[in-house]
Amino acid sequence: MNDTLKILESRRSCRNFDSDKMVSEEDIQAIIEAGTYAASGMGRQSSIIIAVTNKELRDQLSAENAKIMGADTDPFYGAPVILVVLANKDIPTYKYDGSLVMGNLMNAATSLGLGSIWVHRAKEEFESEFGKKILADLGIEGNYEGIGHCAIGYAAAPANAPAPRKDNYVYYVR
């Protein structure tokens, strides 16, 4: 089996990161670059990525996300790097485009020996005044919707084994 297929089969959501161990800048950039090469409808590249390594902003995102979720725990599971994916709602394929970026980010992280997880509620976060201020502070203008947060870091424990694939996953027409 080739390396790409091995990565796709071995990627699991990480829910326990080593919060004291920062990901190297080189690895962060490689993961982000992989995200920028995700397929997009008609090649429009409707998505953008906000790379958050600043602990203060990371913790603010965590608190806001937890508030939306109705919890008081860290929804990012201690991950030190949060890659927020947003996509331009003016592009008809924006949700699919952003989802493909998220997939590329998570698979790239796995290929580098890092853990990752897709954390939801980016839509609600960036519809709020909190999120709008982040976009304004970064000079990001446009009709963007939050697609997801890709939390990245070193796993504090080994990944779980994959769940068995369901029996009726694929139907063939030959």
131: CATH: 3.40.109.10
pLDDT mean across residues, the chain: 97
Residues 6+ apart with CB under 8 A from 32: 49, 51, 83, 105
Note the pTM of the prediction, 2 decimals: 0.96
Query: What is the number of structural domains in the chain?
Result: 1
Query: Does 52 fall in a domain?
Result: yes
Tell me the β-bridge partners of 81.
152
Q: Which residues of the chain are under the pLDDT cut of 50?
A: none
Give the per-residue pLDDT at 28: 98
Give the per-residue pLDDT at 150: 98
- Helices 94-111 and 25-36: crossing angle in degrees, nearest 10, is 140
Give the per-residue pLDDT at 1: 78
Query: Does 95 fall in a domain?
Result: yes
